[in-house]
Amino acid sequence: MSDITYGQVATFNTHPEAAIPSESPLSVAFNQISVSTPAPAVNHASGVRLEEKAFLGHLILRGGAIVLDEAVRKVLGISLPLGLALDESGERSVQWLSPDEWLVIVPGGEEFEVEQRLRDALGDAHYAIVDASGGQTLVSLEGEKARELLMKSTSYDVHPSNFPVGKAVSVVFAKSSLILRRPAEDRYELVLRRSFADYLYRWILDAGAEYGIGVQR
Amino acid sequence: MFYIHCPYCDEYRDEEEFHPKGQAHIARPEDPETCSDEEWGDYLFFRDNPRGIHHELWVHAIGCRKFFNITRNSASYEILETYRMGERPRFSAEHPQGESAEHGAAVNVADEAGRVADQEGVRA
Ligand SMILES: [Zn+2]
């Protein structure tokens, strides 16, 4: 798809078709750990399973809730949530970040088209869309000990009574910060900033060691 | 360790997620070109430091990253309330037991509608 200018905003595809090598924010950690201490593999005893969902499309939407809701429903078929909402396939999500800010995550490669369709739908409204795909990555934590790992790492109350399915928050985590979300009963998702990803990944492996954490590659 | 209620996230969150940003409700002189040096200096540099009830600006730095107000007792550290930008406090040095909710709401609508509109300017 070609680049298009909307009013004063020039857009461009950050994920062009030309074969430019890309590395996830965790590639250094994966490779270095494989040299010194190998990333533990998943086995039947793993109380926590970690899997990076690399190279997804992350878009930050800013603007008024009413106009954004209309556009997001039209383009993604999801109503703007106060927590976390997923489409039927579970592959596309919209998350509340603040009263005028939402995070949209779509399968890698869809983000530029989704951005353009949102811009078409939003027209002259006062809004901003920023493609943050290269700046963060999504990590999924599953397993019966996943919640205990979170309890060791964040002061946020992750008990099901306070953190049910569909909730999403930005919190302090291991003296750093990340977005914590719960898309399903048995699964948590962490959105890590690129600059913190390496540190947080190593923290999670360390915190998960006692639960036999395994890394799905 | 405090739990502080963020009026935008609408839940109590860990103190670590917040930063204080000084005294609240500091009004910029309407016309900086014509105000005196003393007025401008007061606006820029001079802050109250009361013992007792004080209104402060805080930011939920790691959560929603919105600024909001806290009414706090600087002697006991008790937090009496948190409220959004553009809203009026219920508790103050004049009303340490709190004004009735109706009074606060009425003042809010009459005086603050313009400021709310400015601060929430992104709303379509
Ligand atoms: Zn907040």
**What is the mean predicted confidence (pLDDT) over A23-35?**
81
Comparison of pLDDT for A158 and A8, the residue scoring more: A158
Picking from A62, A99, A172, the nearest residue to B14 by CB comes out as A172
Nearest chain A alpha carbon to B66: A98
The model's confidence at residue B122, banded by pLDDT at 50, 70 and 90, is very low
Predicted confidence (pLDDT) per residue in A164-183, tens digit: 999 999 999 999 999 999 99
Write down the mean pLDDT value for chain B. 85
With CB atoms and an 8 Å threshold, state whether B122 touches A64: yes
Contact B123 A170 (CB under 8 A): no
Give B122's contacts in chain A (Cβ within 8 Å). Answer: 62-64, 100, 126
Contact across the interface for A171 and B17, Cβ inside 8 Å: yes
Residue A214, token pair as written in the block: 């395994």
Euclidean distance between CA atoms A138 and A129, whole angstroms: 19
Q: Give the pLDDT score at B77.
A: 95
What is the interface pTM, i.e. ipTM, of the complex?
0.89
* CA–CA distances in Å: residue A61 to residues A137, B66, B105, B107: 17, 16, 31, 33
Which residue type is seen at A135? G
Residues of B whose CB is below 8 A from A66: 123-124
**Most A CBs within 10 Å, among B8, B10, B14, to test the A interface:** B14
Looking at residue B51, its pLDDT comes to 96
Q: For position B102, what pLDDT does the model report? A: 57
The closest CB to that of B124, out of A67, A97, A170, belongs to A67
Centroid of ligand 1 to alpha carbon of B66 (angstroms): 6
Mean pLDDT of B105-117: 44
Residue B3, beta-bridge partner list: B14
pLDDT (mean) for A146-163: 97
The angle subtended at Cα A77 by Cα A75 and Cα A81, nearest 5°, is 105
Whether the per-residue pLDDT at B90 is higher than 70: the answer is yes
Nearest CA in chain B to A178: B62
- Residue B115 pLDDT grade (very low, low, confident, very high; cuts 50, 70, 90): very low
**Count of domains observed in chain B:** 1
B124 part of a folded domain:
no
The answer to whether A63 contacts B62, with C-beta atoms less than 8 Å apart, is no
Gap between the Cα atoms of A201 and A38, Å rounded: 13
Percent of chain A with pLDDT over 70: 95
Edge-to-edge strand order for the sheet containing A49-53?
A168-173, A176-184, A187-193, A136-142, A49-53, A214-216
CA distance A73 to A79: 5
Give a yes or no: residue B75 inside a domain: yes
Q: Using CA coordinates, name the residue in chain B closest to A99.
A: B8
- Tell whether B55 is covered by a domain: yes
Q: Average pLDDT for residues A194-211, to the nearest whole number?
A: 94
Give the pLDDT band (50/70/90) at residue A34.
Answer: low
Q: Which of A117, A113, A111, A116 is nearest to A131 (CA)?
A: A111
pLDDT band at A21 (very low <50, low <70, confident <90, very high): confident
Nearest CB to B66 within list A65, A66, A99: A99
Q: Please state the rounded mean pLDDT for residues A39-65.
A: 94
> Helix-strand-coil percent breakdown of chain B, rounded to 5?
25, 25, 50
pLDDT level of residue A29 (50, 70, 90 thresholds)? confident
Classify residue B57: in a domain, yes or no: yes
pLDDT higher than threshold 70 for residue B119 = no
Chain B residues with CB under 8 Å of a chain A CB are: 1, 8-9, 13-14, 16-17, 62-66, 120, 122-124
| Domain presence at residue B105 | yes
Q: How far apart are CA B87 and CA A39, in angstroms?
A: 52
Sorted by where each begins, the domain ranges of chain A are 25-216
Chain A residue set in contact with B, beta carbons under 8 Å = 62-67, 97-101, 125-127, 155-156, 169-172, 177
Mutate to test the interface with B, among A67, A169, A178, A200 (most CBs of B within 10 A): A169
Residue A31's pLDDT is: 81
Mean pLDDT of A73-90: 96
Fold (CATH) for A25-216: Gyrase A; domain 2 (3.30.1360)
Each residue's pLDDT tens digit, A183-192: 999 999 999 9
Q: Is residue B123 part of a domain?
A: no
A161 pLDDT higher than 60:
yes
Q: Which residue has the higher pLDDT, A68 or B120?
A: A68
- Residue B60's pLDDT band, with cuts at 50, 70 and 90, is very high
**What is the CATH number for B80?**
3.30.2270.10
pTM of the entire predicted model: 0.88
Q: Which pair of structure tokens corresponds to residue A150?
A: 């979170």
The stretch A203-209 carries a mean pLDDT of: 94
Q: Which domain holds residue B108?
A: 3-118
Residues of chain B above pLDDT 70, percent: 81
- Does some domain include residue B37? yes
